[in-house]
Structure 1
């Protein structure tokens, strides 16, 4: 694999404190010792991308296997680091795709990485051979990719701004073989997958839910509880049955919605405000986009990250805030939690939210 090094860094990781799954967290950070460039005293990852990180993914949990973290970013690179038990992080490999990387995903054995790019192509990076192959195409940039490894079949799912959801067979490479294509009628802004459920957020604030057991089929379409553009979403599981039970969405308006599947009680679906200035600024509250949401793999603790440069942990069941980070100097664009639940990673970078604000002011 190709090795690289760099001095700049923007991605950081930390081991979560005991508030994961705890009812009364007590972890705090003393403000008088805060470093403004790294207020949570997290470990900075070496060789960070030169532009904003769009996606972060930990490698699958495998026995006697090291932990790897992959990033896809707007500098057109996919980078991989090894996270050691000592807490140190080593840059391991990099590929430059020639176009902004919008999404990545690992195969179940951690040997390959799927890449979705703005050049309308989906690729597969074989880490052993360091070879990259095009495995799927769309008519517009591909917003997301998810590797589906089910008991009965395996394939790559891609979702694009061309308003299509496609499924690709990896058994006949290098030939591109589309198993199915579903018309969505609107651009895909975000998606998540947790077998057998796939959830896709569209530009018209509609959310499509698919069952991927056997032939992919749409189960239902719901309208987001959020009044403004959906920016991110993540599926959560029922902690008892360990099956997909709903999803959370984040919007550009500093608000999150939690939607439970098959719930007979309308009160189970709710929204809450977040990532807003604690004090008024010139008589107004500053509202920041929610850039990412994710869930702890065991406790289902919700994490939100925003353009205010903070991440927050929430108990969605008790509907309480557990902990908010200190403010970072840049927006937090993406987060990830390792499958074992002990490592939390987040990326800092410019997210264009200031440009959107200026455009609104000019109008």
Structure 2
């Protein structure tokens, strides 16, 4: 039976049994992948009526921390606390190890240059990014970082890395081992998430302190850079009430309109338009933190993972903590850019 909540959103059947680290839709079909702290990576097929069917599952030997689909939708990559990167082949149903680090792999992303074989980038707490050609066992190259990698994303020609101590490195994939920019985050607190513009000319970065910065890669566009507050409670101008700030856990771009969403530890998500610098819509809180989000390829489904994100430390990890993936049917009017 499909369960619903206040948003009338649909719950995915057979969700992960522990914290959900990342969810990603295939760019070719309504297949949804989820990595989890129960060591498993699951793949669900989302039906046209909104129901879901568990299609496949494979395991790491430690918590699975990240997933990423290849552009052709035939392969799913994952990385985990077991320091291993794996590939699941959709056509054969087989999984295999393709990458190795000295510490947990925090993020995996495909970096696909037009006309070349897809390369897998793996970012780790061992302070490196490694690029892997799946046809060989050793990395093509290894990039040293100033600190542990916390966030990474790529849309050709950009790859953007956020590390501990607020370092942000931006790479042009035509020369993927030397950063075109190496600077401190424009936000004052720890980086939580990075998401490249669909146009590949900039990125959004979110911090643990309820802020997002919009950054263009080219310095000539610096006048378009800005930051804003979100995922906060209280602290209105007329009162002395303290402000409670929450981590921004996930930022995603709509594949058609190129507006974006933020979701956070406060259990809410909102749609935004970066070009007009305005909020499009805020949705009701879901009662627990939202750890990861994604759109399907047509932008008609917005998936969000409701899962404890450790924002309150060990004390907040209650036995009754929920782990579920919800599917929100997107109203086009909620994500269309508004006139300035």
Give the TM-score normalised by structure 1. 0.81
Name the CA distance, whole Å, in 1 between partners of 2:211 and 2:161.
18
CA deviations over 1:14-36 (Å, ceiling 9, x no partner): xxxxxxxxxxxxxxxxxxxxxxx
Distance 1:353 1:214, change over 3 A: closer
For residues 309 and 176 of structure 2, the distance between their equivalents in structure 1, rounded to whole angstroms, comes to 37
Residues 302 and 315, structure 1, Cα contact 8 Å, conserved in 2 = yes
Contact 1:152 1:214 in 2 (8 A): no
2:5 match: 38
Q: CA RMSD in A?
A: 2.1
Secondary structure of the corresponding residue to residue 177 of structure 1: coil
The corresponding residue for 1:130 is: 93
**Which segment drifts farther, 246-255 or 279-288?**
279-288
Tell me by how many angstroms 1:184 deviates: 0.8
2:42 maps to what in 1? 79
Give the whole-Å Cα distance in 2 for the aligned partners of 1:59 and 1:265: 32
CA, structure 1 residues 40+55, in 2 after alignment: closer, same or farther (shift >3 Å)? same
1:334 aligns with 2:292: yes
CA distance, structure 2, for counterparts of residue 147 and residue 342 of structure 1: 23
| Aligned pair partner of 1:312 in 270, 275, 283 | 270
1:344 to 279, 294, 302: 302
Number of aligned residues: 313
Whole-Å separation in 2 of the counterparts to 1:203 and 1:215: 21
- Aligned match of 2:326: none
SS state of the match for residue 93, structure 1?
strand
Q: SS at the partner of 2:152?
A: strand
Q: Is the partner of 1:103 in helix, strand or coil? A: strand
How far apart, CA to CA, are the structure 2 residues paired with 1:170 and 1:47? 31
1:38 match: secondary structure = coil
Question: Are 1:115 and 2:71 counterparts?
Answer: no
- The answer to whether residue 120 in structure 2 is matched with residue 156 in structure 1 is yes
Shift of 1:282: 8.8
Which position in structure 2 is the counterpart of 1:286? 244
Q: Is the 8 A contact 2:30 2:297 kept in 1?
A: no
- Of the structure 1 ranges 338-347 and 328-337, higher mean CA displacement relative to structure 2 is found in 338-347
SS at match of 1:353: coil
Q: Which runs of 5+ in 2 are unaligned?
A: 317-340
In structure 2, C-alpha distance between the alignment counterparts of 1:263 and 1:314, rounded to whole Å: 23
Partner of 2:336: none
Residue among 183, 189, 193 paired with 2:154? 193
Quick one: which of 170, 173, 191 aligns to 1:230? 191
Contact 1:292–1:305 (8 Å) recurs in 2? yes
Q: Is the 8 A contact 2:190 2:207 kept in 1?
A: yes
Matching residue within 95, 100, 121 for 2:58: 95
- Per-residue deviation at 1:266? 4.1
1:295 to 240, 253, 271: 253
Deviation at 1:329, TM superposition (A): 1.1
Task: Give the deviation of 1:130 after TM superposition.
Answer: 2.7
TM-score, length of structure 2 as denominator length: 0.87
1:244 to 195, 200, 224: 200
Which segment drifts farther, 348-357 or 245-254? Answer: 348-357
User: What runs of 5+ residues in structure 1 fail to find an aligned partner?
Assistant: 1-6, 10-36, 238-242, 359-363
Counterpart in 1 of 2:282?
324
- Candidates 255, 262, 273, aligned match of 2:218: 262
Residue 8 of structure 1: how far off its partner (Å): 11
